[in-house]
Amino acid sequence: MGKTKINFPNYASEMIQILKEGRVLLVGQGKDGKPNPMTIAWGAMMFAWNKPVFVAMVRNSRYTYKLMEESNTFTINFLGKEYHKELSLCGTKSGFNVDKWKETKLTPVNAKTVETKIIEEAFLNIECKVIFTNDMNYEDLNKTIIEQHYQKHISGKTSHKFYYGEILEMYGDTTKIKKT
């Protein structure tokens, strides 16, 4: 079966499960027009301002952060378990140093509504336009979470920024959502 339109919030819990498993790539694309894939596992799907929204959390030390700051769109791409190696590479190597498309052989292709590319090999794609952002302030964050996830980063002032992307298009091969 090919990719068909998915209406929010259908399959949202399955998508969060796949996100949790680290099988999602966020593609960012900056001023130079070159896309870059980064593995993500933290995020949310929500309904806000009467819109379906995907929230991505990007640490400000990432190459992806630079791209997100230069653009107002991003895409979210769900991959099957067979792409374990590619997901691992995109979650450990940085676009500052390597061309992840060359290293993985994943294919960036045109999206329907946004400039930022989607990934052809993904069985499900989401196209997003950023409508709100906020920086994570340490003063507002639970202390145990700071100790667990940010202790060594506080001095370097790195933290996550939340990007709220209105879901403009969502499509996929729904037969693969549960099987992968």
Report if residue 36 touches ligand FMN, rule: CB under 6 A. Answer: yes
Query: CB under 6 A: which stretch of 31-39, 111-119, 129-137, 143-151 binds ligand FMN?
Result: 31-39
Which of 6, 40, 45, 55 touches ligand FMN by CB under 6 A?
40
Per the structure block, which two tokens stand in for 101?
Answer: 């498309």
Shortest-Cβ-distance residue relative to ligand FMN: 91
The bridge status of strand 124-135 relative to strand 118-119 is: unpaired
Query: CB under 6 A: which stretch of 93-101, 136-144, 151-159, 172-180 binds ligand FMN?
Result: 93-101
Which of 29, 39, 71, 104 touches ligand FMN by CB under 6 A?
39
Rounded CA-CA distance 44/16 in Å is 7
Outline where DSSP puts E strands in the chain.
4-5, 24-29, 35-40, 43-48, 51-59, 73-78, 108-109, 118-119, 124-135, 160-172
Report if residue 57 touches ligand FMN, rule: CB under 6 A. Answer: yes
Q: Are 35 and 26 in contact (CB under 8 A)?
A: no
Q: Are 105 and 119 in contact (CB under 8 A)?
A: no
Report if residue 69 touches ligand FMN, rule: CB under 6 A. Answer: no
Site residue total, ligand FMN (CB under 6 A): 19
Which of 18, 58, 124, 126 touches ligand FMN by CB under 6 A?
58
Which of 95, 108, 165, 172 touches ligand FMN by CB under 6 A?
95
- Which residue shows structure tokens 């009467």? 50
Q: Which residues of 93-106 are buried (b: 16+ CB within 10 A; e: fewer)?
A: bebeeeebbeebeb
Smallest separation (angstroms) from ligand FMN to the CB of 103 = 11
Q: Can you give the binding site for ligand FMN, defined by CB under 6 A?
A: 22, 36, 38-42, 57-59, 62-64, 91-96
